[in-house]
Structure 1
Amino acid sequence: MTLFSFRKLSYTKSAAAARRKDEVKESEAGSCLRNKSSSVNREYMEAFRTKSYVEVQTQLLAANTTCGAAAAEEHRLHTTPSHRRLQLCHLLAGADDDQLQYYYSSQPHDHHPLLNEYFLVSLEASKMCESLLKNVLHTRTNYDKNIKCATKGVAGGRGVWSAEQLQRAYAQLQSFSALRNPLSTASQVRFNEVQDGHFALLHRLTSRARKLKRKMKLLRLLRKALGATLAVGCAALALAFTLVAVHCAALCVLASPGVVSLLLGGVRKQQQKGKKQPRRLQRRERVYLQLDAAAKGVYVLINDFGTMSRLVGRVHDETEHNRAMAGLCARKQNDEMVKEVVRGLAAHEAGFSDHLKELEQHIYLCFLNIIRSRRMVLQQIINSAL
């Protein structure tokens, strides 16, 4: 065997050994990664199943099982995803109210009166959102029971209708026209009154926050000016004592170093004291942060209610139009009119469902924004109490 062949053979063996070692390391790393992934997943599940999660889940299950004694249709309504989301929002609001009530009962004297008004307004807004959500669910239920049943199988059809189809259309349209519009309680006048109250509260919050901000700025300027004046006065007094000590040698030897050090120490102490904010300024700053957070929450609430009032008005008008057409058909008892009205309702069925869904989603968004804003203000109050 030549020297070249021996070197080639040794190189091949070393390369094979290195590959086997890399494969062993990769297998160990893979098993370690799988073990770590399983342990991370197990820890995540253990951390997720906390006491609060179990309590909310238990309350939801208990709320869903309370409808067992109701009729089958009522049970179907209470088990829809929309109703479960409504229950979840109600539970979240209840937890937020419990936390707020606990804090107010523990420290009832340490917050601004405008914050009390903000929490009352936000509570009324959340109740209004909950009432609107129930009305939207009732509107969808009435529409599905009557209009969808009347337009079933005849959408866009211009053929011959059977007597059974006409009888069913008459019955469903008459039943729908006799129902009350659930969104009639949420009139535009009520929305305008609520928004006027929100605008008034926002004006009071912002004006009070501006006054506090101006006072804090003025106090800071006064403190800086007072500190500079005291520093200049102490320095001038020290210089005067030094000049007197120069003319009086004995006084300079005995008293001047002590006096100068005393005055300089007073200057340093005043500067260190000036770095710390007084308690009154800190309290004003905390109140300013609380009022600013409340003003932001009211501003978001105004925008949400403005959009929601337009969406409610649109769905309300469409429902009233459908009821009017259904009532006209029920009174006239004209077959051709019934056919044309049913075709029109079938053509606009998808659009009405989309409008209902958009309104429902915006109510959820408004409801959660209220909860988020209240918790933000409450967190500012708790931070100021620490």
Structure 2
Amino acid sequence: MLECVSVRPSTPNTNTSLPTPSHPNSQGNSTEVEEDEEEEESKEDEDASTASPNVSREFHRAVQAHSYNEIRSMIQAPSQVHDLHDEDSHHRYVLSQVLQPDSNSVREALAKSKPSSNLTRLVSTYFDYSETTSDFCLRLHLTILRARNLYEPLSRLLAVLPADGPPLSQAQCDRAYDLFLQFDSQENPFALARLHQLRDSFTHLKGDIQRDLRKCHSRIRMFRHATAGCAVISVAAVAAVAFVAAHAAIGFAAVVAAPLCVPRQKTRNLARLKQLEAAENGTLVVNDINTIDSLVDRLQTAVEADKAFVRFALERGRERHPIQEVLKQLRKNQPVLEHLLGDLEQHIFFCFYSVNKARYALLKEICHHQTL
């Protein structure tokens, strides 16, 4: 706690005699925020050209970080709860451990800020959205576990059947058919896992922050001009003292008053600028959200493809040939699905890591401003 608050795209192979759903593909991006005013104005253009390399470098650095591995260990720790009430309590507990700085630290820091200020509203909104992001990612990780549970019976069957063995026995066909029925009866785990609303929320928040940043830059430029004016007054006052002794008292008063020409608001606005820039950096998590959403979309499509294959066999009863062909197709699709699940899992951990890093940076600026 701070002092102030005590991807590799691929698709399942298909057989010409079976259904062939398609698989969309997309990609997220990222960048860094610069303090310079001119660079701030051209930031959006730079984002498009430098995004992918930045994401890749940050991702590979993150997976080696101690905090990233701590997050992964906490989320992957097995849960012993069984009923819904205990599951919800366990979810809240894990979220409180993984999300840092935690909600209490944030509330304590924000309580010292002016509740009516636009800055407080913006940073408070960011912290709320970042917590919602972490909550969603934690629930999405449970969706990955449900997907693996959905495929586990079929995976066990495929593990004991030879890849290029003799035709299936009737007992093996019956076993596969029963597992097909079980698989087809369960919903696609990724059907409702969408982050569109969360992505839109961050986009709107980023626009609000950028408008406040422009106002803040304008005020700082005004203070710079005022400082230059004060310097002129000071030089004139010193000259008056040196050459017009009769007006020494007036000159002395001007020299004393000169420092007061530099408004104290400049320091506060610089601190405000740092907080806004940290909050804007935090909204870049929308790039991680885009990547996760793309993976979820591909996983939903992959599961639907397997369901289409299974229904193809079910419609033909317990006939050996359709069942054997569908099992062959599922065997080809299995490593692709597991690869996508692994990618999604890694990007969920990375999203937690990015959120925590941004929350720490913003809270640090808030605390620093309060000590001024």
TM over 0.5: yes
Q: Distance in 2 between matches of 1:153 and 1:66?
A: 29
| Match in the other structure for 1:113 | 121
For 2:126 and 2:308, how far apart are their aligned partners in 1?
41
1:30-71, CA deviations, whole angstroms, 9 ceiling, x for partnerless residues? xxxxxxxxxxxxxxxxxxxxxxxxxx9xxx7xx96854xx59
Amino acid corresponding to residue 205 of structure 1 in structure 2: I
Q: CA deviation at 1:385?
A: 0.9
Shift of 1:355: 1.0
Distance 2:254 2:114 in 1: 42
Q: Which residue of 2 aligns with 1:140?
A: 148
Is residue 173 of structure 1 aligned with residue 173 of structure 2? no
Q: Distance in 1 between matches of 2:103 and 2:96?
A: 10
User: Which residue number in structure 2 is paired with residue 384 of structure 1?
Assistant: 369
**How many residue pairs get matched?**
290
Q: 1:200 to 1:208 in 2, by over 3 A?
A: same
Q: Percent identity?
A: 20
Residue 156 of structure 1 aligns to a residue in which SS?
coil
Residue 321 of structure 1 pairs with residue 305 of structure 2:
yes
The corresponding residue for 1:226 is: 230
How far apart in 2 are the matches of 1:206 and 1:272? 31
Superposed, 1:126-205 pairs within 5 Å as 126-144=134-152, 146-187=153-194, 191-205=195-209
In terms of mean alpha carbon deviation, does 134-143 or 154-163 score higher? 154-163
Following superposition of structure 1 onto structure 2, how do residues 39-118 of structure 1 map, counting pairs within 5 Å? 66-67=80-81, 90-93=96-99, 96-105=102-111, 107=113, 109=115, 111-118=119-126
Residues 283/94 of structure 1: CA separation in 2 closer, same or farther (3 Å cut): closer
Give 1:270 shift: 5.1
Which residue of structure 1 lines up, in the alignment, with residue 315 of structure 2?
331
Q: Which runs of 5+ in 2 are unaligned?
A: 1-69
Alpha-carbon deviation of 1:353? 0.7
CA shift for structure 1 position 358: 0.6
Deviation string 1:217-253 (CA, Å, 9 cap, x unpaired) is 22111222133134225524652x25xxxxxxxxxxx
Secondary structure of 1:157's counterpart equals: coil
Q: What is the CA-CA distance between 1:384 and the residue it aligns to? A: 0.9
Cα 1:149/1:362, change in 2 over 3 Å: same
SS in 2 for 1:348: helix
- What is the CA-CA distance between 1:161 and the residue it aligns to? 1.4
The aligned counterpart of 2:358 is 373
Alpha-carbon distance in 2 for matches of 1:91, 1:228:
56
Query: In the TM superposition, what whole-angstrom CA distance separates every residue of 1:177-223 from its partner, at most 9, and x where no partner exists?
Result: 11111111114xxx333322222211111221122012112211122
- Across the aligned residues of Structure 1 and Structure 2, the Cα RMSD in angstroms comes to 3.1
Per-residue Cα deviation, 1:94-119 (whole angstroms, up to 9, x for no partner): 76112112333455637532112212
Structure with the higher helix share, 1 or 2: 1
Q: In the alignment, is the contact (CA less than 8 A) between 2:101 and 2:356 conserved in 1?
A: no
Aligned residue in 1 for 2:341: 356
Q: Gaps (5+ residues) in structure 1?
A: 1-55, 72-77, 79-83, 243-255
**Gap change, CA 1:186 and 1:155, over 3 Å in 2:** farther
CA distance 1:107–1:295, shift in 2 (3 Å): closer
**2:309 alignment partner AA:** M
- TM superposition shift of 1:343: 0.9
Distance 1:65 1:115, change over 3 A: closer
The equivalent residue for 2:295 is: 311
Aligned partner of 2:311: which letter? G
Larger radius of gyration: 1
**Aligned match of 1:293:** 278
2: distance between equivalents of 1:142 and 1:65?
18
Letter in 2 for 1:288: L
- 1:268, CA displacement in angstroms? 5.4
In the TM superposition, residue 286 of structure 1 has moved relative to its aligned partner by: 1.1
Quick check: 1:122 aligned with 2:130?
A: yes
Amino acid at match of 2:108: Y
Match of 1:3 in 2: none
- Deviation at residue 154 of structure 1 after TM alignment: 2.2
The change in CA–CA distance for 1:343 and 1:371 in structure 2 (over 3 A counts) is same
- TM-score for the superposition, normalised by structure 2: 0.69
Residue equivalent to 2:59: none
TM-score, length basis structure 1: 0.67
Q: Distance in 1 between matches of 2:162 and 2:101?
A: 47
1:227 & 1:140 partners in 2: Cα distance? 70
Choose which of 187, 207, 231 in structure 1 pairs with 2:211.
207
Q: Distance in 1 between matches of 2:101 and 2:126?
A: 18
> Within 2, Cα distance between the matches of 1:349 and 1:379?
45
